[in-house]
A and B are shown apart, each in its own frame.
Chain A
Amino acid sequence: MLAYCAGDKSAFGELFARYAPILTRVLHRFRLSHDQVRDLVQQSFLQLHRARYDFRPDAFLRPWLMTIAFNLAREQLRRERRRPEVELESTAEHRMAHQPVEQQRVEIRRDLSRAIQQLSPEQEEVVRLHCVEELSFDEIAERVGANAGTVRVRAHRGYAALRKLLTLRNNSDDTDIDQGTGS
């Protein structure tokens, strides 16, 4: 990101290749059409370009970009609620987006379960209680005998580690450097 801010245009392609697939996958979860997701990813990087001189060298790019994408998605969904768009063609994706919630309940899959087992025991316990049993952080704190703040820290670290593990699994040559140094 710093290289891009300094004028290295090729760095943009690297940033795009690294983060666009992540944004695409995450934005698809908002029940948006394929075209809308593509537009939102494009707009996110356009906004990244426009805001590049605000980027601090010590900041992390991923949450920066995610916040941009989620704010854009919010605005898109708010506009849709005011002016609902009618799909001209019924695609499989459109039908999937309107299936009942019960059919789309996310279960722990084999890879996710395997990834959770690679966490430290305390992180694994917290993530399983939060993810599988859907306990609140206060309830988890009571169960494990720690305070809510400690539980949140363990959950935060556990999920961050899971994210890295799953990203490495999906992109085996992705170094997934979060910091703003480098590209």
Chain B
Amino acid sequence: MTRICDATSHQLHRGEPLSEAGLQHLAQCTLCQDIAEIVAADSPNSSEVPAQSYDVAELLQRTESVLAEERGILPWLRSRSLHLQLALAGGSGLVSVALQLALAPRSDLTIYPMPRLALLVAVHVIAFALAAKAFLHPLYRPKSARWEAVIASVAFILPVTALALVPAGAASGVVVGPLSPLFFHQAIVCLRYGALLALPTTLLLLAMRRQLAAERSHWLMVAGMGGLLGNLLLQLHCANPEPLHQLLGHATVGVVLFGCVAAFLALVRRGNRRGVN
């Protein structure tokens, strides 16, 4: 910490460009922020900084016109406190799970080992919670791109790695293997079911994010979270323990949602090019 602080502060004094690590440090170190401000204040009227950059009134007017457009449900969601946003995301997922268990639980629930089910639910919930916290991470706190990339990867890989577990449960008659003519049909039915059920929570998360998801890791993260939720819902609904069915029909919910998220963001970007966001 001290070494990066020394390096960053000296680079600021010299007016050198900062590395990615230096910028990350600057966002969280008040000492270096003071130095950055001192160095900048040292020559406020020099030729290095054009005079028109200080037209504060014009910039204020522009900013206020952008803020005036912050009306409606999306801006309302974006401006809720972080704790409320996390509660809304968690609540949305919880409602989906509760409805799933109440209306269409898996047929072999009575013979499925409960400790294993509890572990499955716990792992998914913890991964979802960590990913939600990272995705909604506010800009006023220091952030780490590397940590976000790790979370995004875990969110996608977890449903797939769960396949390595020995199949459990499965009442007679529900196992449809890859040689069965119904195999792909059933996989697609599960995939559609999981993606549709997880879509509202995925869109809610996207809507609450305060800045447009600019990095690919953000898209992956939100799609991965939808995939986690979809996979969990399917684990609570579908009793087919066949690993290939689980891979194609359950674990790939995140992939489908990634496509939905990308299409949604492309539409929003096209709208932004016409208006102001």
Q: Judge: A and B partners, yes or no.
A: yes
Q: Does B172 contact A (CB under 8 A)?
A: no
Q: Does B60 contact A (CB under 8 A)?
A: yes
Q: Does A121 contact B (CB under 8 A)?
A: no
A26 touches B53 (CB 8 A): no
How many Å from the CB of B160 to the closest CB on chain A? 28
A131 touches B2 (CB 8 A): no
Most buried by B among A54, A75, A152: A54
Q: Which residues of A contact B214 (CB under 8 A)?
A: 75, 79
CB closest residue in chain B, given A148 = B2
Q: A46-B63, A53-B79, A53-B80 are in contact. Are A163 and B140 (CB under 8 A)?
A: no
A13 touches B60 (CB 8 A): yes
A42 touches B56 (CB 8 A): no
A-B contact count (CB 8 A): 185
A54 touches B17 (CB 8 A): no
B-facing mask of A11-45, CB < 8 A → 1, else 0? 01100110011101110111100100110011101
B80 touches A26 (CB 8 A): no
Q: A104-B15, A159-B31 are in contact. Are A67 and B38 (CB under 8 A)?
A: no
| Size bracket of the A interface | 35 or more
CA distance A52 to B70 in the complex (A): 13
Interface residues of B in 161-206 (CB under 8 A from A): none
B14 touches A106 (CB 8 A): yes
Interface residues of B in 11-69 (CB under 8 A from A): 12-18, 20, 23-24, 26-28, 30-31, 33-44, 47-50, 52-54, 56, 59-60, 62-64, 66-67
Q: A34-B53, A78-B20, A160-B34 are in contact. Are A112 and B138 (CB under 8 A)?
A: no
B-facing mask of A55-90, CB < 8 A → 1, else 0? 000000001111110111111011100000000000
How many Å from the CB of B80 to the closest CB on chain A? 7
Q: A130-B9, A138-B2 are in contact. Are A156 and B42 (CB under 8 A)?
A: no
A156 touches B53 (CB 8 A): no
Interface of B is mostly: helix
Interface residues of A in 120-141 (CB under 8 A from B): 130-131, 134, 136-138
CA distance A130 to B139 in the complex (A): 30
Partner of B48, one of A28, A73, A156, A170: A28
Q: Which residues of A contact B56 (CB under 8 A)?
A: 16-17, 20-21
Q: Does B78 contact A (CB under 8 A)?
A: yes
Q: Which residues of A contact B13 (CB under 8 A)?
A: 106, 131, 134
Q: Does B274 contact A (CB under 8 A)?
A: no
Q: A67-B27, A159-B35 are in contact. Are A112 and B2 (CB under 8 A)?
A: no
**With A29-B12, A50-B75, A65-B140 already in contact, 12 other A-B pairs whose C-beta atoms are closer than 8 Å:** A16-B56, A24-B53, A30-B17, A49-B70, A66-B36, A73-B23, A74-B27, A75-B214, A79-B214, A101-B15, A106-B13, A137-B5
